[in-house]
Amino acid sequence: MKRMIQLTLVGAAVAALLGGCSSTGSHEPAELEKIDALVKTDRAWSESLGSSETGLLTPALTQTGIYAAGDDSLYRIDPKTGDTVWEVTTGAPVAAGVGSDGQFVAVGTVKGELEVYDSDGKFLWRARLTSEMSMPPLVGSGFVFARTTDTRVTAFNALTGERRWRHQSQVPSLTVRAPGQMVFSPAGVLVGQGNGRLLALDANGRTVFEAPVAQAKGITEVERLVDVVGTPMVDGRMMCAAAFQGGILCMSSQNGKVLWRAPVDAVTGPVSDGSRVYVTTSRGEIKAFDYETGKPVWTNSDLLWREPSSVAVVGDMLVAGDFEGEIHVFDPASGKRIGRDSISGAVRVPPISMGDGALIQSEEGRLIWLRMQKKGN
C-alpha cells in the first residue's frame, strides 16, 4: 500500500497543478515489529456512527457528553456507557464536525451549510456558507466560528445564527488536507493559514497578530507549500503551531514573544504534556522536543509511512492511530512503543484523552473508548 499525502487544489491553479501533484511520493509502510507490551488495553465500549465523506470527522468531548457525527447523523453519547442519548438527522452528510461547548453543537455539511443544535438535539438554525467547511466549527463565548475552504472565518451568534463578522485571508493555490481545528487563546481565536502563518482574531474579527510559522521555499507550488497543519496548541505559558515542510513555532501566551522554533516537516499540530512538545512528520515519524528550549529529545521511526495521527496525552502515555487502524502507545520520556491494539478503519483524526483511556473515531465511523493501564499498576 502506498503512503499518500492528500493535497487540495484551489481556484485557477487546478488545471495547472492537477497532473502529478496529488502526493509527495509513495513508500512502503513499515512492518510492525513485535513489542514488549507494558500496557494493557481494554475496549470499554464501541459504537458505529456511520462513515463520512471526508474521513476526518472529529468528536467533541464536553461536560454534557460526547457529540459525534457519521454520515448524515449527529449524536449525543454518554461517555461512561457509550449509549446514545439522542440522534438527529442533519440536512446533508456531515463534512466537518463536531464543535461544541456543551451548550451548543455545530456541524458543517457537504452542502456548504452550518447547522447548530442545542444540547438536547433541538435544531436551532442553519446558515449557508461561502464554501464547504475545512475543519470543525469552534463553539464558545456565545459564538460559533466556521472556517471554509476559501479561507474565510465567519462568526455567528450561537443562539440566533446572526452573522457577526467575516475575515478573509489570501486563498492559496494548494493546501494540505489534514484534520485540524481552530482554538481559543488569550490572544483570540487561533487559525492556521495556508501561507505558513498563524492568525489570531479578536471578538470583533480584527487581526491581533499574524505570526510566521514557516517561509515558503523552492520553485514549484508543491515545494512552496507551507500550510500550518493540525490544531494549534495553547496552555498557560505557550501557544504553538506547526507547518508542513516548515517547523514548529512556540510563543508566549501572555505577550506573543517568540520562545523557540524548531525545524520539522509536520503533518499534525503540536501536542504537549508540559515536559515535551510532540509532532508527527510527513514520513510518519513522531518527534519530541523539550518544552522549555525546543531542543530535540527523541524521534520514533517505527511507523514510517504508516500515516500516524497526532498523538494524545493519556496520563503518562502517548497514543496515536495509523492508516490500518492500529493503535500505538508510547512512553513519552523515551519514545519507545509500549502497547498496541487495533480497531476497524483508518485513524485520521487525533485520539482524545478521556478518563483512563482514549476516545477514538475511525474513518469507517467506529467510535471507541479504549481504556489503558500500565501492567503492574
CATH value at residue 63: 2.40.128.630
The verdict on 187 and 292 lying in the same domain is yes
* N-terminal to C-terminal alpha carbon distance within the chain: 38
DSSP label of 206: -
DSSP label of 35: -
Q: Is residue 2 part of a domain?
A: no
Q: Is residue 340 part of a domain?
A: no
Residue with the bigger pLDDT between 10 and 195: it is 195
Residue 370, pLDDT score: 98
Give the distance from CA 48 to its chain's centroid: 21
The verdict on 185 and 304 lying in the same domain is yes
The verdict on 82 and 107 lying in the same domain is yes
Question: For 83-127, how does the pLDDT look when each residue is reduced to its tens digit (9 = 90+)?
Answer: 999 999 999 999 988 999 999 999 999 999 999 999 999 999 999
Is residue 225 very low, low, confident or very high in pLDDT (cuts 50, 70, 90)? confident
Q: CB of 199 within 8 A of CB of 151?
A: no
Residue 6, pLDDT score: 56
The verdict on 156 and 269 lying in the same domain is no
Give the C-alpha separation, 155 to 188, whole Å. 13
Domain final residue, candidates 135, 170, 205: 170
Q: Is residue 299 part of a domain?
A: yes
Question: For 236-276, how does the pLDDT look when each residue is reduced to its tens digit (9 = 90+)?
Answer: 999 999 999 999 999 999 999 999 999 999 999 999 999 99
Q: What is the DSSP string of 298-367?
A: EEE-TTTTS-----EEETTEEEEE-TTSEEEEE-TTT--EEEEEE-SS---SPPEEETTEEEEE-TTSEE
The lowest-confidence range among 1-15, 85-99, 221-235, 355-369 is 1-15
Give the C-alpha separation, 368 to 366, whole Å. 6
**Dihedral over Cα of 48, 350, 101, 109: its sign:** negative
70-76: long-range contacts, CB 8 A cutoff, minimum separation 24: 70/94, 70/365, 71/365, 72/109, 73/49, 74/98, 74/105, 74/107, 74/117, 74/121, 75/47, 75/49, 76/105, 76/119, 76/121
Residue 11, pLDDT score: 31
Q: Is residue 19 part of a domain?
A: no
Question: For 139-194, how does the pLDDT look when each residue is reduced to its tens digit (9 = 90+)?
Answer: 999 999 999 999 999 999 999 999 999 999 877 767 777 889 999 999 999 999 98
Is residue 224 very low, low, confident or very high in pLDDT (cuts 50, 70, 90)? confident
Q: Is residue 31 part of a domain?
A: no
The verdict on 299 and 185 lying in the same domain is yes
Q: Is residue 232 part of a domain?
A: yes
List the domain range (segments joined by +) for residue 229.
Answer: 180-308
Residue 237, pLDDT score: 96
Mean pLDDT of 226-231: 93
Give the C-alpha separation, 215 to 210, whole Å. 13
**Dihedral over Cα of 277, 63, 361, 133: its sign:** negative
Going from the C-alpha of 344 to that of each of 50, 325, 341, 359, 366, the distances in angstroms are 12, 6, 11, 14, 7
The verdict on 301 and 189 lying in the same domain is yes
Number of domains in the chain: 2
The verdict on 303 and 189 lying in the same domain is yes
Give the C-alpha separation, 333 to 310, whole Å. 17
The verdict on 207 and 118 lying in the same domain is no
Tell me the one-letter amino acid at 128. Answer: R
Q: Is residue 87 part of a domain?
A: yes
The verdict on 256 and 293 lying in the same domain is yes
Domain final residue, candidates 261, 280, 308: 308
Mean pLDDT of 363-372: 96
Residue 4, pLDDT score: 42
Average pLDDT, the chain: 91
Q: CB of 212 within 8 A of CB of 263?
A: no
Q: Would the pLDDT of 59 be above 50?
A: yes
The verdict on 298 and 184 lying in the same domain is yes
Question: Which residues have C-beta within 8 Å of that of residue 209, sequence separation ≥ 6?
Answer: 187, 198, 199, 200, 256
**Dihedral over Cα of 364, 302, 244, 360: its sign:** positive
The verdict on 230 and 273 lying in the same domain is yes
Q: Is residue 138 part of a domain?
A: yes
Residue 20, pLDDT score: 32
Instruction: State the CATH number of the domain containing residue 257.
Output: 2.130.10.10
Identify which of 194, 251, 274 has the alpha carbon closest to the alpha carbon of residue 227. Answer: 194
Q: What percent of the residues of the chain are helix, what percent strand, and what percent coil, each to the nearest 5? A: 0, 50, 50
Domain final residue, candidates 293, 308, 323: 308
Mean pLDDT of 207-217: 93
Mean pLDDT of 16-29: 51
The verdict on 159 and 204 lying in the same domain is no
Mean pLDDT of 79-83: 97
